[in-house]
């Protein structure tokens, strides 16, 4: 039930991504950035080397810096360790007890440390919207678009994109700022989002939109 060891794999590039059904484009005045579950516990299964985790962390850091510079809200999700078993619910049946309440598990990786003004939401289920006030915080800031980065692409990132769509929030899955158990699962997640609920796009394309380029 523990997380698997994750071997290196190449991140997708734009030519690997199917065309989305949705016509949406990110707009800085409507957009929020989500950094999903980038805690040391969830990053630990990746082996030494740059691909894919090092590249993903670098791309998320670039997006977070650009977002803060232009006033785009930055949200994080982070689970708590030593969860009460009934509160953990069905996740315990699939993944076991999860992380412990120690810095080696709970901390966000150092390169992505939250900055003043960022909001860190306690994560309870796969979707970042479940039992959190993410939707309300976005609404209060006039935001109805969400760029999703982090891990894992086919689990929490995908569930968050699907729920965003069902809340009439336009989701953008940043395909080279997400990592997964393997490339097959990541490709599946991007394909499903493109077909059913959102727009996959790359870091460079999103940065251009954040900076006001068309």
- 3-class DSSP state of 131: coil
168 is catalytic: no
Of 48 and 146, more confident: 146
pLDDT tens for residues 162-205? 999 999 999 999 999 999 999 999 999 999 999 999 999 999 99
Cα–Cα dist 148/164, whole Å: 10
How high is the pLDDT of residue 49? Answer: 66
How high is the pLDDT of residue 82? Answer: 62
Tokens found for residue 206: 């999103």
Domain spans, the chain: 27-210
Least confident of 11-25, 93-107, 110-124: 93-107
Q: Which residues contact 90 (CB under 8 A, 6 or more apart)?
A: none
- 3-class DSSP state of 157: helix
Q: Give me the CATH topology for the region 27-210.
A: Rossmann fold (3.40.50)
pTM: 0.95
Q: Active site residue: 37, 118, 176, 187, which one?
A: 37
């Amino acid at each position: 039930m523990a997380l698997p060891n994750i071997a290196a794999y190449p991140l997708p590039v734009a030519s690997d991504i199917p065309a989305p059904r949705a016509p949406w484009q990110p707009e800085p005045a409507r957009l929020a950035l989500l950094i999903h579950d980038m805690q040391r516990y969830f990053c630990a299964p990746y082996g030494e080397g740059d691909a894919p985790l090092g590249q993903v962390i670098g791309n998320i850091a670039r997006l977070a810096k650009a977002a803060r510079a232009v006033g785009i809200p930055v949200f994080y999700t982070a689970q708590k360790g030593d969860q009460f078993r009934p509160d953990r619910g069905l996740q315990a049946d699939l993944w076991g007890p999860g992380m412990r309440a120690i810095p080696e598990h709970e901390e966000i990786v150092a390169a992505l440390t939250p900055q003043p003004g960022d909001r860190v939401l306690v994560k309870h289920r796969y979707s970042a919207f479940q039992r959190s006030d993410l939707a309300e915080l976005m609404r209060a800031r006039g935001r109805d678009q969400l760029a999703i980065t982090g891990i894992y692409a086919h689990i929490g990132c995908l569930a968050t994109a699907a729920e965003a769509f069902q809340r009439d929030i336009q989701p953008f899955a940043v395909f080279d700022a997400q990592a997964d158990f393997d490339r097959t699962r990541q490709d599946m997640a991007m394909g499903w989002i493109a077909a059913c609920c959102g727009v996959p796009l790359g870091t460079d394309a999103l940065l251009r939109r954040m900076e006001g380029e068309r």
